[in-house]
Amino acid sequence: MPSNGQNLLPRPIPLLDALPRPLYARAESLGAGSWTPRHRHDWIQFSYAISGVLGVYTAEGSFFAPPQWGVWIPAGVEHEVITSTRAEMRSLYVRQADAAWAGPRCRVLEVTPLARELIKQFCLFPVDYAEGESPEAHLVQVLLEQLQGLPEVGFSLPLPQHPRLLEVCNALLAHPEQDAGLAYWAERLGRSQKTLMRLFQRETGLSFRGWRQRMRLLSSLQALEQGQSVTQAALGCGYESTSAFIVAFKGLFGATPGELFRQ
């Protein structure tokens, strides 16, 4: 799923042995098809899309950040980051010791207006900003508190560990427009529909129908970001009705496609 047949442009990984301060910023203007190879590091990363759609891929699943959302990546988690179109990205690197509240899993978080302004201001600081009782250090503390409280949203797609179920998911990811339902896949795997339903729920936390709907809606982000019409995006991800697609899209993202990409 990460490449989707694109010509990807390698993006360098910062050569850091350790973070010089509790918080480190990286601001980038990325070209279409920018790609960071799989890597891991000893600090937390929060990648935030000002414009464009970020895709973060891990062994546990895929995480998508449309404009004004971000992906929280715990320390030590191997990941790669891809942008299908031009994107403005802001990454915050956080020392583990300064975010003891951080959990062990990747999450997609909504960036509140206050957090957005704090990130914007922090990105103007020098790498070795003043610590102690300085105004810069106080802003960093407020920003860390804001990051702790950012609301989580369901823009992630968990992947199963079960090898046969992973085959099904990869086939669906490759062809989101495919209509084959649970009965088809149960027959291919030699399992009952009830067994396959239980397996999907246990491995992904979602029903087959719920997983496929989320996968289709998330896959439509790239088409919409590339300028395709809502109808084209709907058909490309398996919806026969544009109105049904818009209703489902708003149910997941809290906005219609037009509203989301105007933000």
| pLDDT digit string, tens, across residues 4-39 | 444 556 666 777 788 999 999 988 877 766 778 888
Q: How many domains does the chain have?
A: 2
187 and 145 together in one domain: no
Among 120, 153, 186, the domain boundary falls at: 153
Range in 5-14, 40-49, 123-132, 207-216 with the lowest mean pLDDT:
5-14
pLDDT of 83 higher than 90: no
Question: pLDDT by residue (tens digit) across 143-174?
Answer: 999 999 999 998 889 999 888 898 899 899 88
Q: How many CA atoms lie within 13 A of 77 on its CB side?
A: 24
Average pLDDT over every residue of 117-136: 92
121 and 20 together in one domain: yes
- Higher local confidence (pLDDT), 29 or 238: 238
**pLDDT at residue 5 in the model:** 45
pLDDT of 187 higher than 70: yes
46 and 168 together in one domain: no
Q: What's the domain range around 112? A: 9-153
pTM of this structure = 0.80
147 and 165 together in one domain: no
127 and 237 together in one domain: no
